[in-house]
Amino acid sequence: MADNVIVVEDLVKTYQMGDIEVNALRGLSLTIERGEVVAVMGPSGSGKSTLMNTLGCLDRPTSGRYFLDGKEVSDLSDDQLALIRNKKVGFIFQSFNLLPRATAIKNVELPLRYSGMREGRKQKAIDALISVGLGDRLDHRPFELSGGQQQRVAIARALVNDPAIIMADEPTGNLDSKVGQEIMELLLNLNKVSGTTLIIVTHDPKIASQCQRAIHIMDGVVDEEQS
């Protein structure tokens, strides 16, 4: 398990919808190695979103075991999950999710604030922005940035706590194909340089083809894996 950043064993997630039980995950198991770039694919209703919420420590499974960076997190409390999530997981969203009135630096500082860091917080945010090519946009607010630049701020925010994994949910979905490819190349280069594990949710086979492995989810289990 030492080389695996994620190990999931027989994961089950059941939601109660009135009198009806919905089985979103049905005994799903998977392993992701440290430093891998993995695409997660699947149609709506496949269990993909539930899986990603679980892997991102946003939700707990009904049963099964989940080891993140060597620590079992399956049955942690909400507060414990929040701490693990802040330290171990960086999130990148399709819609960027930036604070509209905050500068790029302030947006990137957010995870550091949540972790309680005080000394050196601003410089660490600046370093993260420089690493994604935004050293000349530090004090710009989202409305002063292009879509690609906003996504770069979101990537810097995801990186700033040195997480074990970065989870990107359709990170190129709101960008044109050229800018989307630039963002993908940035993510792949960050993986190459820092060894950060990337899990990319995508419907785009062109994006998936650039990953080392594609995991297809169907009816709450792993349906197929492609390398």
pTM, rounded to two decimals: 0.91
When the pLDDT of each residue in the chain is averaged and rounded to a whole number, the result is 93
Predicted local distance difference test score (pLDDT) of residue 224: 78
Predicted local distance difference test score (pLDDT) of residue 117: 83
Helix (H, G, I), strand (E, B) or coil at 204: coil
Q: Are 8 and 28 in contact (CB under 8 A)?
A: yes
Cβ burial, residue 161 (10 Å; 0-12/13-18/19+): buried
Residue 88 backbone dihedrals phi, psi, to 5 degrees: -110, -15
Confidence of residue 116 (pLDDT cuts 50, 70, 90): confident
Our CA dihedral for 149, 155, 160, 162, rounded to 10 degrees, sits at: -150
Which residue from 46, 35, 47 is spatially nearest to 166, judged by alpha carbons? 35
Q: Are 6 and 164 in contact (CB under 8 A)?
A: no
The angle formed by the CA atoms of residues 214, 215 and 218, to the nearest 5 degrees, is 140
Confidence of residue 114 (pLDDT cuts 50, 70, 90): confident
Domain covering 4-226, topology: Rossmann fold (3.40.50)
Domain boundaries in the chain?
4-226
